[in-house]
Amino acid sequence: MKRILGILFGIVATVTAQTALGEDVPLAGRWERTDASPKIILRFGNTLDPDAAAEADFPEYELVGVPVGKVEQDGDTYTIEHGPRDSRGTLSLQLKEGRLEGTWTYGDYHAEVVLEQRPESWRFTREEVHYDNDGTKLAGVLFLPEGDGPHPAMVWYHGSGDNERTHYLYQSVQFAEAGIACLVTDKRGNHDSEGDWREVGFDTLASDGIAGVHYLKTRNEIDAGRIGVIGISQACWIMPLAAASSDDVKFIVAVSGAMVTPKDEGHYDFVVRLQDAGYGEAELAKAKALLELDDNVTRGTADIKNLVAQVKALRGEPWFQAMEFTPSPAHYYWREFYNRIIDYDPMPVWAGLHVPVLFIYGMADKSVHAPTSIGLLQPLLNDPAHDYTLRTFEGADHGIRVPGGPDAAFPLVPHAEGYYEAILTWVQEQSGLGATSRD
């Protein structure tokens, strides 16, 4: 599962496209697989990422704008690679009578494929934007629907770690085609955004998103009274802080958000590994004691030498090996960042908000224990003073994805049926828009 998640979230990581194509590119335009599923769409010379020479979409897996890693030409034959370096897919194609024909290999998936040129059908425009948050220059892409507006809008908040605009393009496309503008940004310190997320805490990350909201308010195409925010995982600790600090946030979509502290959510990752390996309460107690010591090293109240000594003593224990725990150095950047957030409790902030919120959970999430977070939220969900809505998806993981797809060998996992529709319908309701038909 860790490998699959790496594919899902790493596939849209920063991959600088390297191309051997000359200035006269016979592939320029949009190419779509027409012979079978799963679909792949390739674009050359028409990209969401201005640094990329080409990009790929996987429609059945809700991925768009995936940077292509390499395009090489040898006469009428093209070799095209996509995906992260540790999980590359390769297309070996020949241009024959206006069609691309050849083979597609991606993990264990192998197929003969045919791609034909098809016109672009998107009903929106994309614009590179830059704005400022207290001296830090931030950047992103603004998706603008057709028409003069003013349009309602959404601003993306990022999950943990490095994140660029490419992580959230599929939902952004859906919003824009439904008449909702969408700003998807580069997290500070990534791609075109200055700063460094590792050197700040949740309050600063919350203000980065608010800076995006304030930027949208300067645009004539945007309705300043209908701007919401959306995010997954760590974003659900940050977005309530943003809404608490600014009346400009009118509604929130919170996906896979832990209602416990970062410390408790971090412990759950290791607990799941041990439970999946068949260990019981005795081993879980030992693991939790070790994790608490590690947390105290982060807080500066314990000596890392003691932690290292305990790890050495436990290396031969089968349960410890199943836990897959390796302590970070005392001054590793992650400890410095984690120390700022480790004991943050989001529940008082959520309790103090009075804007509509849609909470979404996958009930097979192994990163956030959905039943615990839903239980903590239940009093607010039952309180008529809060306009809080809950949607759950059985069998779905942290990214609300479920096993399956058009081909069992294909190394991607689709989202749960109805996931994107649930978000879009709810945001349309909050924005005062009726359900929009999408061809």
CATH fold of 124-260+345-431 reads Rossmann fold (3.40.50)
Find out whether 198 and 192 touch, Cβ atoms under 8 Å: no
pLDDT of residue 434: 67
What distance in Å separates the CA atoms of residue 21 and residue 235, rounded to the nearest whole number? 39
pLDDT averaged over every residue in the chain? 90
Whole-model pTM: value is 0.90
**Residue 51, pLDDT above cutoff 60:** no
What distance in Å separates the CA atoms of residue 204 and residue 221, rounded to the nearest whole number? 27
Domain regions of the chain by residue span: 21-117, 124-260+345-431, 262-341
| Structure confidence at residue 436 as a pLDDT band (50, 70, 90) | very low
pLDDT of residue 9: 29
User: 21-117 architecture in CATH?
Assistant: Beta Barrel (2.40)
% the chain with pLDDT above 70:
91
Domains 21-117 and 124-260+345-431 share a fold: no
**Residue 156, pLDDT above cutoff 70:** yes
% the chain with pLDDT above 90:
77
**Residue 4, pLDDT above cutoff 50:** no
Strands 99-106 and 151-157: unpaired
